[in-house]
Chain A
Amino acid sequence: MRVGENLNAALHGLLESDPSAYVIGEDILDPYGGAFKITKGLSSRFPDRVLGTPISESGITGLAAGLALCGDAAVVEIMFGDFVALAFDQIVNFAAKSVTMYGSRVPIRMVVRCPTGGGRGYGPTHSQSLQKHFVGVPGLSVYEMSPLHDNRAVLDAMLASGGPCVFFEDKILYTRRVNDVGDLFRHDVVPGGGGGADVARVFLDDPEAADCVIIAPGGMVDRAVRAMRDLLLEQEVTCCLLVPSRLYPFDAEPLLPALRGARAVLVAEEGTAGGTWGSEVAHQIHRLMWKDLRRPVALVSSADSVIPTAAHLERAVLVQDSTIHDAVLEALRD
């Protein structure tokens, strides 16, 4: 099964099991079924609760918040994650704040889905990874789709969290197979104590005895695994990849056993450097294990640049397998 099919099935399952659930977005109706086909078949089965909308990201996100305020569950598809900037006010100033600003807890069951990331030649305004802009907002959770997490479970966790969630989905993953980490590595999941905080691990044989731990959200899994393969075969360096589903709030504590055994820790993300999720994770690890760390947690980000359209230029800007590969070697250098 492909990741996109898994997500599509998750949405079908949600609409089937929860009669108060809505899926809202631009061009999501059949026969088109969404720009990335993730909503395929939904409107044919649930015509009343799958709403094709005008091009109004702020309006439809506010509409979803209104439904959520009335107790419904609302999933909004932002066609390209870049456009979530248009809905920032509704997410940050209304939906997230409403959870607590009225003095008692108000459940807001709402997910804003954001197809994210580059690598497909869509250019500067259709390729960004805007996760960092949503980190640290009280009442708001940030999740990222991963090939190692079942989307139905993640969707349920997001809606059960009681607050609005932004769900980043690396577009490249839609056509990738679920749970595929190649023939060299194994993978499992470390339970994170509920709330969708489970962390998937990809490792050679012992996840707590790797030379380097790479922490990365779902969109980086393919690139990280390819880097790990090259590092193992060419340099005999072992890595353990940790992939959280929920990026924020984030608790590094359950990862400590894996981190303690490593000589280096690296966080890789596709967004640009500066005030990132990765720096938040690094700060937590520094605080928890300062005395045990050989060197500071290394951060891997894309170049400080807009994302060009031409393939060769885009490759030069975005994090590649080789970026992670080289950063691991650098972090392990004595």
Chain B
Amino acid sequence: MTETGATLLHAPRADDDDLARLLLIRHFELALLDLFGRGELNGTTHTCLGQEYVPVALRRLLTEADFVFGNHRGHGHYLARFDDPAGLLAEIMGREGAVCAGVGGSQHILRDRYVSTGVQGESLPVAAGVALHLKRTEPGTLACVFIGDGTWGEGAVYEALNLASLWRLPLLVIVENNGIAQSTPTTRQMAGTVRARAEAFGVRHHGIESSDLSTIRDELAPLVSEVRIEGRPLVAEFATHRLGPHSKGDDTRDPEAVRHAQAEDWYRLYGEADPERFARADEAQRARVEAIVREVSARPPSRWDP
């Protein structure tokens, strides 16, 4: 794959629940950038603007018994699994009710079977261990790891893929290939392709160009089921776009590249497909996030006893 771009064969569809979740994540991320702009947040954050549909598509292919590993750009991964924007915002703002007492912040979250860490590639061997445990104790469940195209620079990825393929572990690797690793275009950091790398380990690869939830689910459902039942690891690579900066105000891309990403933004495509319903849902989530920001900002600081 040399070009990335979410293309659609037909108008995208989402039921009310999916649409609400997509828009929740979008408005959550926009609210974070706004909070940063106003100096209300400590540290840094990585928004998933443009990529929200990936974890939302996956959520109906996964069960509560599956482990999910998010990453440094993980707000969407978390919110697709838990309808808990207040808990996540409190975590990011260090307020009472934070998922991890404000210790982990944006990048380090553990809740039930959801885990994220901030080091590229580190999660893959860990997920392989979790998959081994699940295979032995809860057959039919899997470990799902979200990584980016940049993560493929890390050796840990290959050590884990080799183990997973060799030992037939139920490992599902979701690659959000947004064409850029922080500030470095994928074409300047990756030789060859994700597909060829996966296949070199005997791991099946499936590329997804669409941002339509039902298309994605139809394509992935039988493959995910093979991961569960046959312990056959899968790399599912989404051609997607990062609309925002890597963290905040550090976007050095050509404005043309950003415009191209915006043109293919699921938000625009879904909006055009069903304008009235979309507008209502959009306003509802915007207002919901606005209220949560107000409520969480007023909370006292989180407490932690190390």
Q: Which residues of A contact B (CB under 8 A)?
A: 48, 53-54, 56, 58-70, 72, 74, 89-90, 93-94, 97-98, 100-104, 106
Question: Which chain B positions have C-beta within 8 A of A70?
Answer: 129-130, 133-134, 137
Asked whether, in the complex, the Cβ of A67 is within 8 Å of the Cβ of B160, the reply is no
- Residue from B103, B125, B136 in contact with A63 in the complex, judged by beta carbons closer than 8 Å: B125
Contacts A100-B103, A103-B98, A103-B103; A62 near B128 (Cβ below 8 A)? yes
Question: Which chain A positions have C-beta within 8 A of B109?
Answer: 102
> Which B residues, 157 to 199, have Cβ-Cβ distances below 8 Å to chain A?
159-160, 162-163, 166
- Residue from B104, B130, B131, B159 in contact with A58 in the complex, judged by beta carbons closer than 8 Å: B159
Contacts A58-B159, A62-B126, A69-B126; A102 near B132 (Cβ below 8 A)? no
Question: Which chain A positions have C-beta within 8 A of B68?
Answer: none
Distance between A69 CB and nearest chain B CB, rounded to angstroms: 6
Closest to B99 in A: A103
Asked whether, in the complex, the Cβ of B110 is within 8 Å of the Cβ of A106, the reply is yes
A70 to B66, CA, bound (A): 12
Q: Is B127 an interface residue (CB 8 A)?
A: yes
Distance between A27 CB and nearest chain B CB, rounded to angstroms: 15
Asked whether, in the complex, the Cβ of A93 is within 8 Å of the Cβ of B101, the reply is no
Q: Is B210 an interface residue (CB 8 A)?
A: no
Q: CB-CB contacts of B130-146 with A at 8 A, as 1s and 0s?
A: 11111011000001000
A59 to B160, CA, bound (A): 6
A303 to B304, CA, bound (A): 44
Asked whether, in the complex, the Cβ of B119 is within 8 Å of the Cβ of A89, the reply is yes
Asked whether, in the complex, the Cβ of B122 is within 8 Å of the Cβ of A103, the reply is no
- Residue from B122, B134, B159, B304 in contact with A93 in the complex, judged by beta carbons closer than 8 Å: B122
Q: Is B88 an interface residue (CB 8 A)?
A: no
Closest to B136 in A: A48
Distance between A303 CB and nearest chain B CB, rounded to angstroms: 33
Asked whether, in the complex, the Cβ of B110 is within 8 Å of the Cβ of A98, the reply is yes
Count: A-B pairs, CB below 8 Å: 112
A63 to B169, CA, bound (A): 11
Q: CB-CB contacts of B82-105 with A at 8 A, as 1s and 0s?
A: 000000000000000011111110
Q: Is B155 an interface residue (CB 8 A)?
A: yes
Contacts A93-B117, A93-B119, A102-B103; A56 near B162 (Cβ below 8 A)? yes
Q: Is B14 an interface residue (CB 8 A)?
A: no
Asked whether, in the complex, the Cβ of A54 is within 8 Å of the Cβ of B156, the reply is no
Contacts A54-B159, A93-B122; A59 near B101 (Cβ below 8 A)? no
Closest to A67 in B: B129
Q: Is B306 an interface residue (CB 8 A)?
A: yes
Asked whether, in the complex, the Cβ of A103 is within 8 Å of the Cβ of B100, the reply is yes
Distance between A11 CB and nearest chain B CB, rounded to angstroms: 19
Question: Which chain A positions have C-beta within 8 A of B122?
Answer: 62, 89-90, 93-94
Asked whether, in the complex, the Cβ of B127 is within 8 Å of the Cβ of A56, the reply is no
A-B contact list, 7 entries, CB within 8 Å: A63-B125, A63-B129, A65-B125, A66-B130, A89-B156, A102-B104, A103-B102
A147 to B131, CA, bound (A): 38
Q: Is B124 an interface residue (CB 8 A)?
A: yes
A88 to B18, CA, bound (A): 41
Closest to B105 in A: A101
> Which B residues, 61 to 85, have Cβ-Cβ distances below 8 Å to chain A?
none
Asked whether, in the complex, the Cβ of A62 is within 8 Å of the Cβ of B117, the reply is no
Question: Which chain B positions have C-beta within 8 A of A106?
Answer: 110
